[in-house]
Structure 1
Amino acid sequence: MLMRKRTLISTAIAMIVAAGCGGGHDDNGAPAGTNAHAWMNTALPPDQRTALLLAAMTPAQKVAQLSGSAGVVPEIPSCYGGRHILGIPELQIPTLRVTNGPVGVGQNDCVPPDSVTNPTAALTSTASAKATALPSGMAVAASFDTAVAAQFGDVIGRESRNLALHVLEGPGMNLARNPTLGRNFEYFGEDPVLSGTMGIAEINAIQSHGVIAMAKHLVANEQETNRMTINENIDDKTLHELYLLPFEMAVKDGGVASVMCSYNSVNGFQMCENKHILTDVLRGQWGFTGYVQSDFFANHSTVNSMLAGLDNEMPGIEVGPLVKYWSADRINAALAASQIKQSDVDTALGRRYKQMFKLGIFDRPVAQTAIDQAADGAIARAIGEQSAVLLKNENNVLPLNAKAVHTVALIGQSAYANKAVSGCCGGSSDVIPLYTVTPLQGVQNALKQLGSSATASLTVVADDNSNLQDAVAAAKQADVVILLAGTIAEEGADRPSIELSNNQDAIVTAVAAANPHTVVVMKDNASVLMPWIDQVPAVLETWFPGQEDGNIVANLLFGIANPSGKLPVTFPKSAGDWPANTPAQFPGVNVNGVPTVTYSEGLQIGYRWYDARNVKPLFAFGHGLSYTTFKLSSLQVTPQASDGKKPITVQVDVENTGKVAGAEVPQVYLALPAGLGQPPKRLVGFQKVQLAPGEKKTVQITIDPTSSSHPFGTWDTATQQWTNATGQFQVLVGNGSDSLSLSSTLSVSN
């Protein structure tokens, strides 16, 4: 059988060469007088090019291509990195260069060779090549705008090309199950449809630049505590309806080229060895044709991982107890023992090569070009302005009147008030920014733009609040106070709570008492407790704004931009007012010596839990104010009786009833028929609409029962498939999950 297969491949090569080359040929089957191999013929489809390349490779070359390398990048001698797979020049295989990127092009395989002494240092060096530090993934989700997600991906994809990078490890598509989780800022919030929708837009934009996007981390990487050893127990229904759903959408509608398997185990199987998910679900149920890469050092085996569906081990270096399981010795030993076959190696490589051919990676030089930092910086600023959420604005204290204000006091601890919150703050999210704009610089820029003679000052409060009285004194002397606060988070650790760190609550209380015109600007990982909410007239949530921090915040506060973001996570009133609030749910308990978390809340996370438990949050999912006002009216659902197969159109009029231009986001939720064990409602659609003062637009949002988001669907564990519910649905429309002023009914039958 093996000989017959080789004969067929050889015959195919000969036929392709003969058909594509009218004249003499060199020994590689390429046209005479060229240096190209047959697989470098761009007229051939990726599958054929892949087959040709694999047929030409030696077993040793194939094994070397299975895992990462470290050292100087041959094509770019000025770059030392630990995030690449060394190329094979004689086969015209380029060095495949990988970068992190949930919030911009992060650690990216390029530090000065004389700045590091080992591969591990290269993975964390602050000398990594610079890029635009964009607002966080949570901020992008808060825009509730696929155009913003596409802009985000466009900058990332373009700058990856600028820096001669090929694979972007993002978007992050895990869910904000618990507000204390350290990497919530990298993800798209608590709702799977919002996450999947924004992820699709980002993926399409990244891959339009010929860069491989990598949806991560498959799956249930919802915490950092014990992430290398934790076992997540999740029932099959919950797994499919919540945690797998964004990834399914990314595969089916985003065409994502790669997926990353995570550190954790799911239902007893480490994710890079989880054959059910990597093969049965990802490839079997969803039809994924890309490749699976391990998170860095997430692979724990040689044979089991390859047979489960892993295709590429990263980073491919050994650090202490962290072993390279796909080393030449281990792979060859497994082949010799018939534990794996050569065809398994070919399959793993072929999946990756196909995507590399598809996105043109073989067909362009590995060469760097300059980033247009001004243009990309302007996009970063626009994204931040579209993503900020105006949580409270009592008596319309915002926007600030630059002509009426004479003195502005900026107050806060250094992390939030004295620098841009960019490249926050560790691991995947480390972006070395091209430049930064501090809060004070931003306010000064806005005042100048508006022709104001007002002066702005900055008082940095010590982390122990030892000079709090200085801040109080500054507040008393100012016309208005901009108080900057927040929560810093990073990969590798969860937050101890969602309270403001370093007793920032005391700063807000003291400053607000000293000056009633105190506006609080939050820079957050996710949601945060606000025990002082009644003491201040206005709160603006800006997440992690990135390198344009100062300009974003100032433009919003002074009305140069109008906030239009909506909350992608629920803000609780009190500690513990959220799902997954017991030790068994988070951070986990030991079960037979294994740290174990049980997702016993099932389908009730985020707003679904608050609805089901009738717990009133401080600010609901989907909430967000504006400097203008809007009216939603004239809801129409067409048709109102459906066979569950054809799209449903939800139409609503949105009118700007205020005096300034702004944007509103009508949101569509479905309440499924009773008796299905579902939460009270689920988000199924949304659309941001820009409106001039007095303008009215009719917005149409489509609910497609056959779409990858399964708006009518529930997961049937017995049959391992989605089933569309039938019966009476309620269609709920409004501008927040707790502000659904319009409703209609929908009858669905088989």
Structure 2
Amino acid sequence: MGPSARAVPQHRCTFRIAPPAVLPTRLSLLCCALLCASVASAQLPYKDPSLPIPARVSDLLARMTPDEKFRQLFMVAGELGPDSTRFTNGLFGFQVNATQQQGGAADQLLTYAAGPDAQRTLEKVNGMQRFFIERTRLGIPMIAFDEALHGLVRNGATAFPQSICMAASFDTTLMGRVSAAIANETEARGLRMVLSPVVNLATDVRWGRVEETYGEDPYLASLFGVSYVQAMESRGILTTPKHFVANHGAGGRDSYPAFWSERHLRETYFKPFQACIQQGGARSIMTAYNSLDGRPCSANGHLLNDVLRRDWGFRGFVISDAAATGGANVLHVTARDYEDAGRQSVENGQDVIFQTDFAHYELFKKPFLDGTVKQAAIDSAVAHVLAMKFELGLFDQPYMSDSLLKSLDLNAHRELAYEMAVKGAVLLKNENNVLPLSSTDYRITVLGSDAMDARLGGYSGPGNAPISIFAGIEAQLGKKPGELTWAVGCTRVDEHTRPVEPEVLRHGKGKDMAPGLIATYFNGIDLSAAPAFTRTDEQIDFQWTLFGPDPRVDYDHFAVRWEGMIAPIESGTFNIGVEGMDGYRLWLNNTLVIDRWEAQGYATTLVPYPFTQGKPCELRIEYRERAGNARFRLVWDANVSRAASDKLVNEAVDLAAEGDVAVVVVGIEEGEFRDRSSLKLPGRQEELIHRVAATGKPVVVVLVGGSAITMDAWIDEVDAVLMAWYPGEAGGLALADLLFGKRNPSGRLPITFPRNEGQLPLVYNHYPTGRGDDYVDGTGQPLFPFGYGLSYTTFTYSELKLNRNTFTTKDTVLLSITVSNTGSMAGEEVVQLYTHDELASVARPVKELKGFQRVALEPGTSKQVTFKLTASMFTLLNEAMLEVTEPGTFRLMVGGSSKDIRLRALVELME
């Protein structure tokens, strides 16, 4: 909760009429009026911190105009700007230093500028708050909010390992400490709300946002979500578990429509959200972009009213994802316009509309001001927002001092980041114990761009001096000539072509020549019709996914003609052409060189053409778009050298052949709007691994990324594989300590790694099949199962004991085992407990994670590990969709992963 309330003294303002001889002067009357106004303001009930919050909310709500109410339901990226008068009726709040990318009310993507340092951010937030307190009629404070998935997205903030890496630690205590550190860095800047955590389940690893999650399992994701939320909320920072709900669909595609049964949702995808609310105390929830069973999640009354508030008792506010409310109009087509979309969302339980620019306010406001939106729905939503602002203490102590900022210990936070990177890294293979490496006996060759890049993952700030993997290894070995070398080998993207650069695209003639191409847009696919508009496009590199090129043409039925010239800066015969959807034609010097006018679907078409430096080539392109989701690019290979790419690979292989061991650091491309159809390493990275392995030298592959990678093509050729994820700003030091044995790997996979994409979706806790799991051309088993991870030492499990073999709903079953370190190195084992219902009225998962414990053991030592089981752990939804505990037998399984079950037992729940 917010700061403790301070009692405000009650004042009584009385006046005595003076005799005519002593009438007050005009100045004294003015002073008296001002004094009385001040006293009257102090007497307003909503300003009285001694009153209960519901009373304060009720009083304030009764004083608000329709516009003042709606503005509490509108949150935006940005800040006051030069025209602060736009906000004199108030606002929910701002995401400071964030701006929309493309413009338009349907623009979902924001640019997160790291912005000023912490001190200046605090001063900016306090200054903005002062405006709302002092220059709005009612003095309603705003909420400054930001992204803080694995660290605040700000300059000077600690960049912790990505969420998926933290989940791989299987250490919720450490997660809580990380969250507390993020909370301190957040509050110190005056920010009081974060749009985190992501508690969607990563049940299809093609989804580009797997990195942001805590993995595929509802139990694991719930525990990590609660750890994050509790630490934040206990420090007065509102958390926003997101995206409610089912944020990926068929093919692992982001925000695809979901048609999942209520049973499936309640047994899996709902659970982390429910836990964050009921156990963590989350006071904000963000809806998802997708539709669920035909209704947009931002206007889904069943989700927001029945499930969230009625069933779970949620008392905070619900916000949309950025520009998601209007998605009912633009994407899902379940609303007539933005006004109707806003009405539907608030009347169905969403409280706050999140847009990427305040200019969009005009698109939504009318029905909220003219009585179209139900007044009860508006008042309910505003009350939810005001209650949280009161709880945060913003009315009573709206400004943040810099005392917390001065006390921040970023060195301690960096140590936390290091520890999480160590515990989150997963050793997937270690043939013949090639790891750990010796720091004295090897000439080590490090290869790959990811060895130098120190990538932090999506929704990251810049971090504080991030350390690359190469820099970490170098710090281990010292700068000894010839003992440590690096070569890029290849990048993650192997480009055969690139978009034709703006520098060579021109229109006009002679002195009138200007940059760009003249683009004529047509409403419809008939280029003989009257144009809708004409503009200059600097480059042809478009992806019209969420909306069309301009409101003046239809979203999914338009045509374009580009005209101008290419002014090459070098001579040569280059392959030039088009990557695009649907029909297109290309003319060079009035000659038709590409004609796919009747084609449908996506294709890349190239032709060789001789270009001469200083001699412009006339260019005309025609394109017609008939089906939506248009992608269109004019590309060539003038700026791409295959020979240079070959040279980089060859140099890396030669360098590896000269050394004693090669550490090949490779990674993937993923993220928001970046789902993967292939899980292979992109570019020439697999080729690099093959060729380095062919040298006969030991090969250690380090994987950088936030999701599963297929490895069947090369894993048998290498000696060791270490999954680093995105390890944060101290990741280079952590990975080096793991590679050289100063620390022992102990991370476990929070997602299943498939052998190929045809197995997807593939999760460990699936339901029984009516037939087999295998394919005619392959296995149904994963490459690496959920919970998997190796160590430099070995552990044995023994002596499983139960305090009782039967139990009732009032009993607790104690399951204990002995874990022993039988190797020669200290290490940590993650002991995992799985259960299975042997006979139930409805089908149950083949296996469910119900507990895990980290056990640190010195060589030759043992420790007893005990799990507590209660009947509540075995509940299910019966045929009537009621949560019940059915009597019967349950199998208990203990092991090192979902497949590595070492010990088993049966217990019976009695009636």
Give the TM-score normalised by structure 1: 0.82
Q: Deviations over 1:281-308 (max 9, x none)?
A: 1111111111111000111312221121
Q: 1:65 aligns with which of 72, 78, 98?
A: 72
511, 521, 525: which is aligned to 2:706? Answer: 525
Decide which of 846, 849, 857 is 1:691's aligned counterpart: 857
Distance (whole Å) between structure 1 residues aligned to residue 94 and residue 723 of structure 2: 43
Structure 1 residue 46, shift from structure 2 partner: 3.9
Greater alpha carbon shift after TM alignment, 236-245 vs 29-38: 29-38
Query: Shift in Å at residue 532 of structure 1?
Result: 1.2
Does the CA-based 8 Å contact 1:225-1:493 persist in structure 2? no
Which residue matches 1:5? none
Structure 2 residue 773 is matched with structure 1 residue 613: yes
Tell me the residue number matched to 1:701: 867
SS in 1 for 2:745: coil
Q: Are residues 171 and 475 of structure 1, via their aligned partners in 2, closer, same or farther at CA, if it must alter by over 3 Å?
A: same
Question: How far apart are 1:81 and its partner, in Å?
Answer: 4.6
1:649 to 805, 814, 827: 814
**Same amino acid, percent of matched pairs:** 31
Match of 1:180 in 2: 206
Shift of residue 225, structure 1, vs aligned partner: 8.1
Partner amino acid, structure 1, of 2:723: E
Q: Answer whether contact 1:726 1:747 (CA < 8 A) is retained.
A: yes
**3-state secondary structure, aligned to 1:522:** strand
2:411 to 374, 382, 385: 374
1:391-540 alignment to 2 at 5 Å?
391-405=428-442, 407-412=443-448, 414=449, 416-422=450-456, 424-425=457-458, 429-448=459-478, 455-463=483-491, 464=494, 465-466=645-646, 467-530=648-711, 531-540=713-722
5 Å-filtered alignment, 1:7-406, equals 24=11, 38-39=45-46, 41-69=48-76, 70-72=78-80, 80-81=97-98, 88-90=132-134, 91-106=138-153, 129-222=155-248, 230-300=256-326, 301-315=341-355, 317=357, 324=361, 327-333=364-370, 335=371, 337=372, 339-341=373-375, 343-362=376-395, 363-366=397-400, 369=405, 372-405=409-442
What's 1:630 paired with?
Answer: 795
Q: Which residue of 2 aligns with 1:715?
A: 877
Tell me the distance in 2 between the aligned counterparts of 1:736 and 1:523.
22
Opposite residue 468 of structure 2, the aligned amino acid is T
Contact 1:562–1:626 (CA under 8 A) maintained in structure 2: yes
Task: Output the CA distance in 2 between the equivalents of 1:345 and 1:137.
Answer: 36
* Kept after mapping to 2: 8 A contact 1:607/1:620: no
Give, in whole Å, the separation in 1 of the partners of 2:202 and 2:69: 39
Inter-partner Cα distance in structure 1 for 2:40 and 2:440: 72
Distance across 1 between alignment mates of 2:35 and 2:672: 47
1:552-631 correspondence to structure 2 within 5 Å: 552-579=734-761, 605-608=763-766, 613=773, 615-631=780-796
Check 1:36–1:382 CA distance in 2 against 1; reply closer, same or farther (3 A cut). Answer: farther
Whether the 8 Å CA contact 1:38–1:52 is kept in 2: the answer is yes
> CA 1:525 to 1:229, structure 2 compared with 1: closer, same or farther past 3 Å?
closer
Conserved? CA contact 1:225–1:492, under 8 Å: no
Given that residues 435 and 547 in structure 1 are in contact (C-alpha distance below 8 angstroms), is that contact kept between their aligned partners in structure 2?
yes
Give 2:825's match in structure 1, choosing from 660, 681, 693. 660
Maintained 8 Å contact 1:67/1:326: no
Instruction: Kindly provide the amino acid, as one letter, of the partner of residue 446 in structure 1.
Output: Q
CA distance in 1, matches of 2:650, 2:737: 29
Give a deviation string over 1:323-364, Cα, whole Å, max 9, x none: 55884323113x2x3x411x3222212223323333444435
Change (3 A) 1:346 1:29: farther
Paired positions, count: 667
Give 1:24's aligned amino acid: H
Contact between 2:287 and 2:321, CA under 8 Å: does it hold in 1?
A: yes
**Matched residues in 1 for 2:60 and 2:247: separation?**
35
Verify the 8 A CA contact 2:342 2:353 in the aligned structure 1. Answer: no
Which one has a bigger Cα radius of gyration? 2
1:272 Cα deviation after fit: 0.8
Q: CA deviation at 1:181?
A: 0.7
Q: Secondary structure at the match of 2:228?
A: helix
Return the TM-score normalized by structure 2: 0.68
Distance 1:229 1:492, change over 3 A: closer
Contact 2:439 2:477 in 1 (8 A): yes
Q: Which one is further off, 351-360 or 157-166?
A: 351-360
**How far does residue 523 in structure 1 lie from its aligned partner after superposition?**
0.9
What SS is found at the alignment partner of 1:295? coil
* Distance apart, 1:522 and its partner CA: 0.6
Q: Deviations over 1:350-403 (max 9, x none)?
A: 223323333444435146636643332221111111100011112221111112
Q: 1:49 to 1:679 in 2, by over 3 A?
A: same
Give the aligned partner of residue 608 of structure 2. none
Tell me the SS of whatever aligns to 1:417. helix
- Cα deviations by residue, 1:100-133 (Å, 9 ceiling, x for unpaired): 2223212xxxxxxxxxxxxxxxxxxxxx644222
Letter in 1 for 2:464: L
* Secondary structure of 1:671 counterpart: strand
Spell out, residue by residue over 1:413-472, the C-alpha distance to the aligned partner (whole angstroms, 9 max, x if none).
x2x1221011x24xxx14232321122211111224xx9998322100233452211111
Moved more, 28-37 or 263-272: 28-37
Do the aligned residues in 1 keep the contact of 2:133 with 2:141 (CA within 8 Å)?
yes
Distance 1:746 1:132, change over 3 A: same
Q: Tell me the secondary structure at the aligned position of residue 631 of structure 1.
A: strand
C-alpha distance in 2 between matches for 1:655 and 1:454: 41
The separation in 1 between residues aligned to 2:94 and 2:832, in whole angstroms, is 51
The separation in 2 between residues aligned to 1:29 and 1:499, in whole angstroms, is 73
Report the secondary structure of 2:166's partner residue: helix
Q: State the partner residue of 1:583.
A: none
Amino acid of the structure 2 residue aligned with 1:651: S
- The Cα shift of 1:77 comes to 13
Task: Please give the alpha-carbon distance, in whole angstroms, between the structure 1 residues aligned to 2:410 and 2:209.
Answer: 27
Q: Secondary structure at the match of 1:687?
A: strand
SS at match of 1:50: helix
Q: What's 1:118 paired with?
A: none
Shift of 1:524: 1.9
Q: Contact 2:701/2:718 (CA < 8 Å) preserved in 1?
A: yes
Measured at CA, do residues 80 and 398 of structure 1 come closer, stay the same or move farther in structure 2, by a change above 3 Å? closer
Measured against aligned partners, the alpha-carbon deviations of 1:198-234 in whole angstroms (never above 9, x if no partner) come to 1111111122221111110000002598978742111
SS in 2 for 1:218: coil
Q: 1:282 to 1:558 in 2, by over 3 A?
A: same
Q: Root-mean-square deviation (CA), in Å?
A: 3.2
Asked whether the equivalents of residues 157 and 208 of structure 1 are also in contact (C-alpha less than 8 Å), the reply is no
Deviations 1:108-159 (A, max 9, x none): xxxxxxxxxxxxxxxxxxxx64422221111111011101221231232122
Change (3 A) 1:211 1:326: farther
Can you give the 5+ residue segments of structure 1 that lack an aligned partner in the other structure? 1-16, 107-127, 581-604
Q: CA deviation at 1:693?
A: 2.6
Question: What is the CA–CA distance in structure 1 between the aligned matches of 2:822 and 2:139, rounded to whole Å?
Answer: 61
Distance 1:517 1:220 in 2: 43
Aligned equivalents of 2:35, 2:308: Cα separation in 1: 37
Are the counterparts in 2 of residues 167 and 211 from structure 1 also a CA contact under 8 Å?
yes
> In the alignment, residue 409 of structure 1 is paired with which amino acid?
T
CA shift in 2, pair 1:673/1:404, >3 Å: same
Is it true that 1:639 corresponds to 2:776 in the alignment? no
Structure-2 change in CA distance of 1:229 and 1:20 (3 Å): closer
Rate the CA distance shift 1:458–1:228 in 2: closer, same or farther, 3 A.
Answer: closer
Superposed CA offset, 1:453-500 (max 9, x none)? 983221002334522111111111112211101212111121121110
Q: CA 1:271–1:742 in 2, change beyond 3 Å: closer, same or farther?
A: same
